[in-house]
Chains A and B, each alone.
Chain A
Amino acid sequence: MEFFFHCLQTTLVAAEFPGGVVIGADSRTSTGTYVANRVSNKITRITDSVYCCRSGSAADTQALADIVSYRMAMHEIEMGRPAAVRTVANTFREMCYQYRDDLMAGILCAGYDRTHGGQIYSLPIGGMMVRQKVASGGSGSTYIYGYLDSNYKPDFTAEQCVDFIRKGVSLAIHRDGSSGGVCRVAIITANGVERRTFTGDQLFVPQ
């Protein structure tokens, strides 16, 4: 359960590499200043090839993710093929925009489809949708805009991209009180999804 002031807790980062996307998040859920869950999972499956990172109100984003996941499951049955990432993102966007005055949800929707490869769609509060190669969200993201801007290269390998994301989340955790715990990462490619968790020493800590 999240109790929010005006900022969004959490650090979310996502980056594209040729062949897929890597998305990462921290694992702290806070109620005011108390850490309600120190190992939460903010990377949520929507379909087998599209995942989302959630920031903002835990209740709002969980409800949205459940609804979009259900609609996309129906869509996939009817279409007979996996949903396009943009379709999932647009479904999120319709609801985020329609209920913009009632929701507090910032979502990164990322995945892989055969038509356009790896894609990341940023859906900030307010209900707009924009595709980005590198996207970030949550309160911790403000501390790492400089890091992300200066270190991203479009031709990363998957492992380099994971490293880039891991360092980004770690640096944000280092400075943002609302982010913490472990760094969870998901790599989404044509071969499916691989999830990893980086704990303790595996996080990057600046000297």
Chain B
Amino acid sequence: MRFTTSTMDLMPLQASQPFDPSKYRYTGPNVQPRQLPNTRSQAPITTGTSVIGLQFDGGVMIAADKLGSYGSLARYQNIGRLMRVNDHVILGCTGDYADFQFLRDIIDQKMIDEECLDDGIVTRAPALHCWLTRVLYNRRSRFDPLWTTFVVGGLDDDGKPFLGFVDKLGTAYTAPQIVSGMGGHLATPLLREKMDGQPPLSEAAARELLIRCMTVCYYRDCRAFSKFQIATLKAGSIKIEDDLEVKGDWEVAHFSKEHA
């Protein structure tokens, strides 16, 4: 176990040695493979709920609320669960937030490495989706899962919108609409009703549909929160809107009779 590290490790022994940037790579905490025999998978601690993603004409849009739940306690009410990976990929994460932060740092370092390589190859959404699948499946196979579900969005190599799902078991698929968490039960039917067999949505229609789904999730998911973010990716631009809030329509409360 290496508890102590020093920046002296990074200094060249002689001034004449060239600067070696690879020594400054962030390698993450030394998460060792769990030693067998072991039959316990970890339990998630601080968790995020649903992430909703959908494709529209020319891009993808992903939304997630800003809550980290500590069991039933709505403990951290200003955390972002959406991530801009690079100019071509956005992703959102459901599940354990510490595991999301761990992978986020590793993905950030991958993007730095890619920029340093500077060979014209950029990671697009299908590639990141594939990599995430392999990572999560590998951890699952060691009985030490990263207790997270990812929704990865972007444009594929042909410029068509791509949306992919990977969960903690390494189950992966792509679809025109992807919802992780409890929203999978609440929002997926709403999205499919509007999108199946129809021409692709416009960006405005997609945003309206997404906000409607976030509203329904806020009504019906105990672990949801009213403040949320939307990330929109189109060819050449990524926009993350941060201070959105579900207001909701509670008029129906006045219609009910005495109990229930």
Residues of A at the B interface (CB closer than 8 Å) are: 67, 70-71, 74-75, 78-79, 93-95, 97-98, 100-101, 122, 124-130, 132, 142, 145
With A98-B30, A130-B79: A67-B68 Cβ-Cβ less than 8 Å: no
B70 on the A face (CB < 8 A): yes
List residues of chain B with CB under 8 Å of any chain A CB: 3-8, 29-31, 34, 42, 44-46, 68, 70, 73, 75-76, 78-79, 96-98, 101-102
Q: A128 touching B29 by the CB < 8 A rule?
A: no
Min C-beta distance of B14 to chain A, whole Å: 19
Q: Are A101 and B6 in contact (CB under 8 A)?
A: no
Assess A100 versus B98: contact at CB under 8 Å? Given A122-B76, A128-B46.
Answer: yes
Output the least CB separation between B202 and chain A (Å). 36
Contact B70 A124 (CB under 8 A): yes
Partner of A71, one of B4, B30, B102: B4
Q: Which of A97, A125, A132 contacts B29 (CB 8 A)?
A: A97
- Contact status B3-A71, CB under 8 Å: yes
Partner of A100, one of B4, B42, B76, B97: B42
Residue among A78, A124, A125 with max Cβ neighbours from chain B (10 Å): A124
Further pairs besides A79-B7, A97-B98, A128-B68: 19, Cβ < 8 Å: A71-B3, A71-B5, A78-B6, A78-B7, A93-B101, A95-B29, A97-B101, A100-B45, A101-B34, A122-B76, A124-B70, A126-B46, A126-B96, A127-B98, A128-B45, A128-B46, A128-B101, A130-B76, A145-B73
Q: Nearest B residue to A136 by beta-carbon distance?
A: B75
A128 to B, closest residue via Cβ: B98
Which residues in A have their C-beta under 8 angstroms from that of B68?
A: 128, 130
In the docked arrangement, what's the CA distance between A125 and B149, Å? 20
Closest chain-B Cβ to A191's Cβ sits at a distance in Å of: 28
In the complex, the 9 A-B pairs of residues with the closest C-beta atoms, listed nearest first: A126-B45, A128-B98, A98-B29, A127-B98, A126-B98, A94-B29, A78-B7, A128-B97, A67-B3
Complex contacts, B29 vs chain A, CB 8 Å: 94-95, 97-98
A-B CB contact pairs (8 Å), 10 listed: A78-B6, A101-B34, A124-B46, A125-B45, A126-B44, A126-B46, A126-B96, A126-B98, A128-B46, A132-B76
Instruction: For residue B96, give the distance in angstroms from its CB to the closest CB of chain A.
Output: 7
Closest beta carbon of chain A to B129's beta carbon, Å: 24
**Chain B contacts for A70, CB-based, 8 A:** 4
With contacts A126-B45, A128-B46, A128-B68 known, is A74 near B96, CB below 8 A? Answer: no
The docked-state distance in angstroms from the alpha carbon of A129 to that of B68 is 11
CB-CB under 8 A from B75, the residues of chain A are 124
Q: Are A142 and B3 neighbours in the complex by a CB distance under 8 Å?
A: no
Residues of B within 8 A of A122 (CB): 76
User: Please, which residues of chain A bring their CB within 8 A of the CB of B8?
Assistant: 78
A97 to B102, CA, bound (A): 8
Query: In the complex, what residues of A have CB within 8 A of residue B97's CB?
Result: 126, 128
Chain A: minimal CB distance from B135 (Å): 16
A51: shortest Cβ distance to chain B, in Å? 21
Say whether A129 contacts B101, CB under 8 Å. yes
Q: Which residue of A lies closest to B29 (CB)?
A: A98
Q: Which residue of A lies closest to B42 (CB)?
A: A101
State the CA gap A102–B5 with chains docked (Å): 22
Q: How distant is the Cα of A122 from the Cα of B76 in the complex, in angstroms?
A: 10
A68 to nearest B CB, angstroms? 9
Complex-state Cα separation, A98 to B97, whole angstroms: 14
CB neighbours (8 Å) of B34 from chain A are: 101
B31 contacts A98, CB within 8 Å? yes
Chain B minimum-CB-distance residue to A101: B42
Contact in complex: A74, B46 (CB < 8 Å)? no
Which residues from A are CB-within-8-Å of B73? Answer: 142, 145
Complex CA–CA separation, A4 to B70 (angstroms): 18
CB-defined contacts of A98 to chain B, threshold 8 Å:
29-31
Once bound together, how far apart are the Cα atoms of A31 and B5, in whole Å? 35
Complex CA distance for A126 and B96, rounded to whole angstroms:
8
Which residue on A lies nearest to B7, using beta carbons?
A78
- Known interface pairs A100-B98, A126-B96, A130-B68; A74-B76 also in contact (CB < 8 Å): no
Bound-state Cα–Cα, A67 to B5, Å: 11
Contact B6 A124 (CB under 8 A): no
- Least CB distance from A58 to B in Å reads 19
Interchain CB contact under 8 A, A124 and B31: no
A126 CA to B44 CA in the complex, in Å? Answer: 8
